[in-house]
Structure 1
Amino acid sequence: MNAPRVPKIFSYSRRRARWRRAIGRQRRGDAADFLYRSLAEDIDDRLDFMNVRPGSVLIRGDPTGLSRAMFERLGATVTEITPLDGQEEAAIDGRFDVIASLADIDTVNDVPGALIHSRNAMAPGGIAMIAFVGAGSLANLRRALLAAEPDRPAARMHPMIDIQAGSALMQRAGFARQVADSYPLKASYRQFDRLVDDLRSQALTNVLAVQPPPLSRQALQRARESFLEGADAEGRVTETFEIVVLTGWKD
């Protein structure tokens, strides 16, 4: 029997281009990095709570280098896989104490396969920590993009995984036990364009296989105006990133 065909939701060439752009911005030293800073701090706190000091770590994602620096402060030997390596759906060599996937797995076509490869690359007793921007995030941005094209809106944001689906995926991948939780990360903006710029700097923009056409000048203005409809008395719009963290162990 043939294996079921994996739908091609995401473009890996667009993932690579997104990564190159984010790396270039991060190297300038003034790009937004708040999402990855939060992820690195959260994983550090979780490892401290569990009294885990990993010897070998695999990181997937994070163009900022903040998570690598955090693990190296803990004395770990760090291996990184980025979209430029082209290993989104390939088996991973190694036996790692910790695998940290940061805002990466949610734009892989074969998520169950990627999780299985991660589990197979873990040492016995190892921990996988899979974090990504989950369903329910960026409500103001979604509203603004719909308002930009009220008659025939194009798909400009990819589908997001919710916490229940994430937990089910971890079970399907065969982790010995798993925990799924989430926390909100908030950022406020005076301009629609600044939010989009921060997403670009952190490799968080659309990489759907079917690339939508650019917004027209009029549509972009409608998006800007709709975004600011959610502003507070100080003219700032608070956007929420719902961070889902899936933790799984290997016997």
Structure 2
Amino acid sequence: MSQPPMLFSSARHAAQRDRIARLPADANFLAPIIAETLRDRLAMVTREFPRTLLIGVHDGALIDHLRASGTALTMLEAGLSLAAATGALVGEADAIDLPFASFDLIVWPGGLDAVNDVPGALIRMRALLAPDGLLLGAFVGDGSLARQRRAVMAEGVRSIARLHPQIDLSAMGNLLQRTGFALPVVDVEALTVRYGNWFALVRDLRAAGLSSRLAPAPPPLTRDESARIAAAFAAQADADGRVAEIFRIVHFSGWAPHPDQPQPARRGSGVTSLAEALKPKD
């Protein structure tokens, strides 16, 4: 049976990641924000994690934090240069090949929404976790960059897919359940960033590794198309001339099943908080 065509290009992903390695450390504004939220969520967990897998070396402070916890840290990175600079293994999250039950904690600070096989990647994460191990991550989710999405549909711009599809909260929760995670929790945090022009947004997206990696690559924008998109983006500005763009950061967590874990609340009861779900078994 033939394989379905790939939605995303691994080669373009690796090139994007290596571009990050060449930029100043502060160019990627989003990485430290996501890293801080993940550190805050880890602080809710009172247990120790002897073995940790970090997918994507997005933020040096997060790496330092994990190492300071005393865990044995393994890192996975798609970019060859970035992997070489940080000592990470090279590979894609949906194709990682490591022994089962190798880790007690997997931290994934961005990128789940742009792998070719999202359920397959989650199944791999579940298999890599030891019983009662924790998967904790975040990604830019559904509802993000709404003004850019409207701008690229401006009159005179070719109708070609250029932006990634997005995963929403309910889909992510269902995916965690379907792939065997216990006590799945998904929540969202909206981050508003104000831009003076569309080109500044594009620079931020490239610095954060969020530019398109669709396969095949869409044809480059013409100068006229770029101008039309920039004008359509600027037309959505507030009174101060700046456009408020929203990044919806979806946070997710799930535990590898263990007999001693508490049972989740009845679906729809709404009584289980993130803090409660992150607590380990007694």
**CA deviation after TM superposition for structure 1 residue 62, in Å:** 4.0
Q: Does residue 91 of structure 2 align to residue 86 of structure 1?
A: yes
Q: Which runs of 5+ in 1 are unaligned?
A: none
> Are the equivalent residues in 1 in contact too, given 2:191–2:248 (CA < 8 A)?
yes
2:179 is aligned with 1:181? no
Query: What residue number does 1:29 align with?
Result: 25
Structure 1 runs of 4+ aligned residues shifted over 6 Å read none
Q: What is the CA–CA distance in structure 2 between the aligned matches of 1:161 and 1:240, rounded to whole Å?
A: 15
Q: Residue 6 and residue 247 in structure 1: after superposition, are their counterparts in 2 closer, same or farther (change >3 A)?
A: farther
Counting only pairs closer than 5 Å after superposition, residues 143-154 of structure 1 correspond to structure 2 as 143-147=150-154, 149-150=156-157, 152-154=158-160
Please say if residues 97 and 123 of structure 1, whose CA atoms lie closer than 8 Å, have aligned partners that are also in contact: yes
Is the contact between residue 57 and residue 76 of structure 2 (CA under 8 Å) also seen in structure 1? Answer: no
TM-score (norm 2): 0.81
Cα offset, 1:124, TM superposition: 2.0
Q: Provide closer, same or farther for how the CA distance between residues 91 and 169 of structure 1 changes in structure 2, counting only shifts above 3 A.
A: farther
Any idea what SS the aligned residue of 2:238 has? coil
Offset, 1:172: 1.4
| Matched ranges for 1:1-251 at <5 A | 5-25=3-23, 28-31=24-27, 33-84=28-79, 85-87=90-92, 88-93=94-99, 95-147=102-154, 149-150=156-157, 152-250=158-256, 251=258
Cα distance between partner residues in 2 of 1:96 and 1:73: 17
Taking structure 1 as the reference length, what is the TM-score of the superposition? 0.90
For the aligned residues, what is the CA RMSD?
Answer: 1.9
Aligned in 2, Cα 1:214/1:175: closer, same or farther, shift over 3 Å? same
Alignment gaps of 5+ in structure 2: 80-89, 259-282
1:143-162 Cα offsets, whole Å, 9 max, x none, are 11111644x42111011111
Give the whole-Å Cα distance in 1 for the aligned partners of 2:243 and 2:210: 19
87-96 or 196-205, which moves further after superposition? 87-96
